[in-house]
Every structure is written in structure tokens, then in C-alpha cells.
Amino acid sequence: MSVLTRAAQPGVSASDLPRRSRLIGRRVVLSAIVPILILLVWWLGSLSPTKGLFIASPLATVVRTFQDFLGGNASHLFLGTVAWQDLLPSLWRATVGFWLALVVGVVVGTALGVKPVVAALFQPLVHLGRSLPTPALLGVFFLLFGTGDWPKVLLIAFGVIWPILFNTIDGVQGIGTGRAHVAEVFKLRRRDVLFRILLPGAAPKIFAGARVALSLSLIMMIISELQKSRNGLGYLLVATQRNFDYPGFWSVLLVLALIGIILNIIIVRIERRVLAWHQGATSQHD
Amino acid sequence: MTDNQIPAELVMTGIAKVYGTNRAIDDISATVPAGQVTVIVGPSGAGKTTLLRIICGLDAPTSGQVHFDGAPIDGVPDGLAMVFQDYSRSLFPWLRVEANVGFPLRRIDKKLRRSRVMEALEAVGLAGKEHLYPWEMSGGMQQRVAIARALACHPRLLVMDEPYASVDAQTRAELEDLLLTIQATMKITVLVVTHDIDESVYLADNIIVLSKAPSRVSEEIPVRLARPRDQITTKEDAEFIRLRAHVLRLLRNIPEAPTGAGSLAAKVTA
């Protein structure tokens, strides 16, 4: 009897286990095919007599990445000189720029979303700012803020604020009359309405905007460092090319790809925790 | 739960509401007696929602006045709690049931708040469900949470705006009985707006029938069906059947049918 009932439950019986692990194995193999092909093309490219001059082989790139970015001793937290000189300053600028954009974007977006008059007043300005390609403003930011970290941080913030701003406006406006009525009838204080209804309700949209902004901030980080820089990954991309140091150049690309992947994993994790209710609530209506 | 929870009386005198050239409410005067269930029923577009907003102090009438326990209202009166039609829009999906029900009580001491929340959940039959999220529950359970949230405020007047319009018929019957039980034990004043005629007769001590817009009171009907009411026996009572036909005629503007076989014969010969 117990054997029968156990066999009736999916995914528990003993004969099921090998099939399941076979399925997982097949997925791993499938998802590995494309990266292996890319590596192969990369490697073949590096062998080419003409193009090979500019393409470092995958192995040389990985070795160089370890040397430059991880070669340090314990006193340097095992990070290499390039990591200290270029990677960390770049990440610092991107982080400050991103958080600045997040705070300003959410505050301004909430104000614009709540007050239609303010929204109408600032609409032309917002659309102007959004439609300007931010890299075009690089020179303006250098003129206004000198050549240190600030023009770069502010350029990053300016470049990534738009998805956060627009999503916050959208999220706050999409709260709906139903919840507004609840706030009215139960006489909630304005502070509670803001922090307990508007912002949590807009959080899924704000998160979506922040996710776009985060990947944009890496792009803006590189662009801001292409000119008038003495360090940073963007600077390094230019400097290694000028010196025909192609393994160095390719190792920067590898590091950038890794940063992108790691940031995405982090934000997905955070989103799953903070917005678990949203996933549950939306799957209910499917 | 009965501490200073004396039921409130609501009196509407000559209420009119005009939007531009559109006269939504022409002239409504009616009383919602303390400690009873009053149901407002009207054809769709009768300005029921507008009237509710005026009663709750969210909108001012163009003319006329609403008195809550003898005092003219200006803003949402203390002691008024409301259950909204659409639970999925009125509950907060990012809060668990306990936090949802305790939401209007934010200014109250934490311990007292918790005990009031538990009491309210117990009253609607959701004890032990406080850790769930609303979206983990069925529609009927979610509307119970919304009712519990209103009860946790210890209201003296409970206003319900088509509270059961978005649940299925069987759940609806359960929730109607739940409301009657709660009202009988807590003796609060209840005002329900509905478009369901059976529901209006089943729940009410008094029915206020509204006309089409610009709305007026067609009739105030006292309902003298015995309590406690029962979904089967009350609804097969001759008086219930007579009342629901009467309300339906009022809503459809059909003159009252002549009663008795004699008049039927008279009609045939005529």
C-alpha cells in the first residue's frame, strides 16, 4: 500500500530520480554549447594571421586577468594593482552615480507622480533631459565640474536617472483609486500614505527601472572615463589599445562582462526577496 | 468589543449633488437608524457611489446635509469604517493579513493593536490566518479580511459598498450570514449599498429604494422578517417573496400588481 501511494506521487519514486538528473544534465549540456562555440570562434580568431594581431587568445586573456586583477598579496586583499588603480575607482564612480540617480529619481518621480501640476510644469524639462543622448554631454560636464571624479559621477547619474524617474512616476500614478479611497476613509496620515501605500505599491516598477539603470550605469561609467581620465576601466581600454597591449585590452572586456553578470545576479536575488509578494500577487491573476 | 461602541444614527436631509449641468442626485432624505441594517438599492447609474462618498464625508453635497449622531459631518466621521467592493484593490498585497487588518490602527499601541486585530479576525472566522498574504487566499476569504479591517476600527457605523459583488454566489450567501451574525453580536449600525434585490431584502431592517438619476427616494421599506434569518427558510417566506417583487417593481417602474384571485378575474374580464 505504502509503495503504491509513494509511486503515485510525482518526483518521489526511486525510478524517477535518474530521469530527473538526466534532464538536469541535458540542460547543463545545452546551456554550455553556445559559450563553448563563442570561445572556439574567439580562439580561432586569435590564430588568424591578420586579425590575430588584435585578438588575444582566450587563455592569454584569462592569465592576464588573473595577473592584473588578482595578483596581490594579503595586504592588498589579494587584488592586483590594476584592480586597485582602475577597477575600484570605476566601480566607486558607478556606485555613487547609480545611488544618486536612485535617490533623486525616486524623490522627484514621487513628487511628479503625486502632483499633476508639478508634473505638467516640469514635463518639457524632463522630456528634454531624457531625449538628449547623455554621452553628448560629456564635454559640458567636464566644463562645469572640472576633471576629477565629479563630472564622471554626475554624468553617470544623469545618464541612468531616466528609467528610474519614469518608472517611479508610472508606479505612483498606477496605485489606483481603490487604495486612494482606503487611505481617505481610514484617515491615514500623509506620511503613512507615502511610505506605506505609494512607495511599496510603486516598488515593482521602481525596481524594474533600477535594473535598467544599473546596466546603463556600467555603460556610462566606461563612456565617462574615455576622456580626461587618469584611471578607470574606460581609461584602461583606451590606454591598452594605444600601447598595442591586446591581452590587457581583452582582459578589461572580460572583467566588464563578469561585473555585468555578478550585478545581475545580485539584483535578481534582492528582487526575489523584497518583491516576493509581487510575484505571488501577479501569479494569482494568471 | 463593546467598549464605547454605541451604534450611530445617520440622517440625510435634502441631499442634492450636481456636476456641472448633470444632476446626479436630486433630493434624498432618509434615515439610517442606529443599531439596524439599512440597505440602499437602486438601478445602475442611480448615483449610489456618489451618495456613499457624501455619506462618508469624502464629497460635499451641492445642497442638503448629513448628520452623524446629530452632528453635521465635515470630513470622514470618527467611528465610520468602510468595506469596499473590490478586495483586490482595497487590500495591500505587500502586507500579511495581520498588517492589513491593523493598518488603520497604526497610531494605537502595538499590543492593543494586535489584540484588536486577532479579535476582528476571530469575528470573521479567520483566526490563525494572520500570517498569510491576501493573494494566498480565496476571494471570499480576502473580503473577510477587508471586513475584519473595518471591524478592528471598532466602528459605530459600518458602510459597505457592494461588498459581495466580486465573489461567487455561494460565498456571497456565506458572507451575508457572516455580516448578520456580526451585526447581531456587536449591534453596530450597518449601511449596505447593493444592486442585488434578494440581498437587500435578506439583510435589511430597512430598504431605501432609489430612483434612476437624478435620484430621489422611491420608497423606504421596513422589513419585518424574523431574525436570525436563514438562506433557505427566510427566502421561501411569503413575505420575502412579496418584498423582493415589490422592490423589483419599484426599480423597474412597474405599477403594483393587483392582489388576490378576485382582482385577477376582474383583469381577465376587462
Give me the residue from B81, B82, B89 closest to A179, CB to CB.
B89
- Mean pLDDT across chain A: 86
Domain match, A30 and A112 both: no
Residue A10 lies in a domain: no
For A274, name the nearest residue in chain B, comparing CA atoms only.
B94
pLDDT exceeds 90 at position B5: no
pTM, 2 dp: 0.80
Same domain flag for A156 and A246: yes
Q: Which band of pLDDT confidence, cut at 50, 70 and 90, is reported for residue B263?
A: very low
Give percent of chain B with pLDDT exceeding 70.
Answer: 93
Q: Which residues partner with A111 through β-bridges?
A: none
pLDDT (mean) for A134-145: 87
pLDDT of residue B1: 43
SS3 content of chain B, % helix, strand, coil (to 5): 40, 25, 40
Q: Is B13 on the interface with A (CB under 8 A)?
A: no
> Which range (A45-49, B30-34, B60-64, B223-227) has the least confidence?
A45-49
User: Among all residues of chain B, which has the CA nearest to that of A183?
Assistant: B104
Considering only the C-alpha atoms of chain B, give the largest distance between any 2 of them, rounded to a whole number of Å.
Answer: 75
CATH number of the domain within which A258 lies: 1.10.3720.10
Determine, yes or no, domain membership for A182.
yes
Contacts of A195 in chain B (CB under 8 A): none
In a shared domain, residues A166 and A238: yes
Residue A185 has which C-alpha cell? 476613509
Q: What is the mean pLDDT of residues A6-19?
A: 56
Q: Closest Cα partner for B92 from A136, A171, A198, A44?
A: A198
**Does A32 share its domain with A133?**
no
Judged against a pLDDT cut of 80, whether residue A8 lies above it is answered with: no
Cα–Cα distance between A14 and A2 in angstroms, integer? 14
Cell output for B180: 448578520
A286 inside domain: no
| B31: closest CA of chain A, how far (Å) | 21
Structural domain contains residue A90: yes
Tens of pLDDT, residues A255-282: 999 999 999 999 989 988 888 888 888 7
- Within this chain, do residues A29 and A137 fall inside the same structural domain, yes or no? no
Least Cα separation, residue A271 to chain B (angstroms): 13
- Minimal CA separation from A68 to chain B, in Å: 46
Q: Give the rounded percent of residues in chain A with a pLDDT score beyond 70.
A: 93
Is the pLDDT confidence value at A6 over 50? no
Q: What is the pLDDT at residue A137?
A: 87
Question: Which of A181, A192, A277 minimises the CB distance to B93?
Answer: A277
Q: Is residue A22 part of a domain?
A: yes
Q: Express each pLDDT in A29-39 by its tens digit.
A: 898 999 999 99
CA B152 to chain centre: 17
Let me know whether A138 and A225 are in one domain: yes
Residues A49 and A98 in one domain: no
SS3 B195: coil
Residue A68 domain-assigned? no
User: How far is the C-alpha of B112 from the C-alpha of B170, rounded, in Å?
Assistant: 35
Inter-chain CB proximity B58 and A184 less than 8 Å: yes
Same domain, A239 and A134: yes
3-state secondary structure of A5: helix
User: Counting runs of H as helices and runs of E as strands, what totals does chain B give?
Assistant: 10, 10
Q: Shortest Cα distance from A109 to chain B (angstroms)?
A: 21
Altogether, the residues listed in chain A come to a count of: 286
- Residue B207 is predicted with a pLDDT of 96
Q: Where are the domains of chain B?
A: 9-77+189-269
- Nearest Cα to Cα of residue A162 among A91, A100, A101: A101
Q: Is residue A69 part of a domain?
A: no
A11: in domain: no
The pLDDT of residue B266 is: 45
Residues A234 and A92 in one domain: yes
| Domain identity same for A46 and A146 | no
Domain count, chain A: 2
Beta-carbon separation of B81 and A176 below 8 A: no
Chain A interface with B: residues with Cβ < 8 Å? 176, 178-179, 181-182, 184-188, 192, 196-197, 200-201, 203, 277-278, 280-281, 284
- Checking if the pLDDT of B4 tops 90, the result is no
Q: Is B197 on the interface with A (CB under 8 A)?
A: no
CATH number attached to the domain at B9-77+189-269: 3.40.50.300
Residues A29 and A120 in one domain: no
**Average of pLDDT values for A134-146?**
87
In angstroms, the CA A206 to CA A106 distance is 8
Q: In terms of residue numbers, what domain contains A175?
A: 75-278
Which pLDDT value is given to residue A11? 45
Same domain, A165 and A207: yes
Please write the tens of the pLDDT for every residue from B45-104. Answer: 888 888 998 999 988 999 999 999 999 998 899 899 999 988 888 899 999 999 999 998
Q: Which residues of A touch B133 (CB under 8 A)?
A: 277, 280-281
Is B262's pLDDT higher than 50?
no
Q: What is the pLDDT of residue A99?
A: 97
